[in-house]
Structure 1
Amino acid sequence: MIHEVDEVLKGLIGGGALAGSGIDVSFDVPTRDWAARRNAPVVNAYLYDIREDVSLRQRGHTGLRDSRDIVVRRRRPPRWFRLAYLVTSWTKTPQDEHRLLSAVLATLLPHELLPAQELPGALGDLGLSVPVTVSANQSEARSLADIWSALGGELKPSLDVTVTVPFPAYPDYDAGPPVTEGATVRVGAVDGGPPRSKERAHRPHQLAAARSAREQATARPTEQS
């Protein structure tokens, strides 16, 4: 899933205001050595933090149905993780870096929620929209000063971009066979004698037919005399 999020983020940053500019989007660790080797303007999106958003955790399971609309397997809800990226721009002058960051910000702000049909691979197959936040306050995230200190570099202007993505909770579980026979009711005598009534069976198709008849009767308009 993480590599698919990289692909989505690269497409977002490289599009919009930066479309056709030829500026590369890199996911390398922005160390001093990396900065010294670059020879062209670049936008760097460094993945510095991954943690679960426990407020989105759900219990229970969902049913997976076959072509006959019968539940054949059960799946637990996905777990949601926040992927935090440190987005920086690298050029020869601070003014150009600020222009690049402004272009990235203008590109990302309209994409606060990515629909499932725009997501690649297994991420899109889950059928869930993915939220994107830019420079929001994350109390659990590491401070930017600590990040730059760990990288051995000087503090630079940056955007804190967080993509919250679902990860499937494996494994799936087989579901039991569907009910086809229904229940059988026998009413016996109190003294152990013969049954007072005949055996009555409740079958699924009979219940469905009775329910459909009740719904149709309820839906009919009341005739006025």
Structure 2
Amino acid sequence: MIHEVDDALRGLVTDDALAGTGVEVTFDAPTREWAARRNAPTVNLYLYDIREDLARRRQGAIAEYDDRGATVALHDPARYFALSYLVTAWTNRAQDEHRLLATLLGTLIRHDALPPARLTGSLATLGLTVPMTVARPPGEDRAFADVWSALGGELKPSLDLVVVAPLSARRTLAAQPVVDGLRLRTADPADGPVETAALRYSDPVASPAGPGDAEQGSALSMVGARRTRGAARHRDGSGPPIRGSQR
């Protein structure tokens, strides 16, 4: 998911904000050593923080259906994570850096979310909105001076870009519906096995035609009768149905 957000941002910045400028877009940590190696105008998007957006967490399960409307799987709700980028411009002149930042700001504030056409992979498959904010005041638990100190570089003007991206959660295959009933197979030492009787259906199983099997066939018929939904019958098969469950 993180690399898919990177790809979407790269396309948005390169094609919309910096089209035709030849400015390079990178995601490297802007350390002192990296800055010393840079030899061309560059816009850097450094991912410095990843944390879950707990306000967007949801409970329950989401059903997935096939073409017939049957449930084939259950999904946990997607989890959302805030990806914070430190956006900086690097040239040989401060004025040129400010001009690049102004161009980036003007492009990014036009989008409340990453454009759907820029989404790929799992982000495109989920089909969910990917919110995005830029240059909002940071929370009390964030200080950009601390970020620059950790990088070992000098403080530079920057834009704080936050993308809240969904991450696909667990998918559990649903149990398939039962299409056949419990089957009963009996055997007689003399005559061999008797045909299996399906207990799912309410129609009584026909009694075997062989001699001496009438009693056994009757028993099988009664087993089928007890599977009748909503009504049970008398043991001899006569009389009106007896309401209620019969065990």
Q: What TM bracket, shorter-length normalisation?
A: 0.7 to 0.9
Letter matched to residue 129 of structure 1:
T
| Amino acid across the alignment from 1:152 | G
Alignment of 1:97-176 (within 5 A): 97-139=97-139, 142-170=142-170, 172-176=171-175
Question: TM-score scaled to structure 2, two decimals?
Answer: 0.71
**Structure-2 residue corresponding to 1:49:** 49
Higher strand share: 1
Q: Equivalents in 2 of 1:17, 1:42: separation in Å?
A: 13
How far the C-alpha of 1:143 sits from its partner, in A, is 1.0
What is the TM-score when the length of structure 1 is the normalising length? 0.78
Show the counterpart of 1:206.
Answer: none
* Rg comparison, structure with higher value: 2
CA deviation after TM superposition for structure 1 residue 158, in Å: 0.2
In the alignment, the residues of structure 2 paired with residue 118 and residue 98 of structure 1 have an alpha-carbon distance, to the nearest angstrom, of 26
Q: Secondary structure at the match of 2:229?
A: strand
Going from structure 1 to structure 2, the CA distance change for 1:10 and 1:195 (only over 3 Å counts) comes to farther
Identity of aligned residues (%): 51
Q: Residues 188-199 of structure 1 correspond to what in structure 2 (within 5 A)? A: none
Q: CA offsets, 1:45-102, max 9 Å, x none? A: 0000000000000000111112222111101011000000000000011100000000
Q: Which of 185, 192, 205 is matched with 2:230 structurally? A: 185
C-alpha contact (below 8 Å) 1:49/1:141 kept by paired residues:
no
Unaligned runs of 5+ in 2: 180-199, 201-227
> How many residues end up aligned between the 2 structures?
193
Q: CA RMSD in A?
A: 2.5
Amino acid at match of 1:93: R
SS in 1 for 2:110: coil
Gaps in structure 1 of 5+ consecutive residues: 189-193, 201-225
State the 1:137 CA deviation: 2.8
Instruction: Give the partner amino acid of 2:139.
Output: S
1:70 touches 1:178 (CA, 8 Å); kept in 2?
no
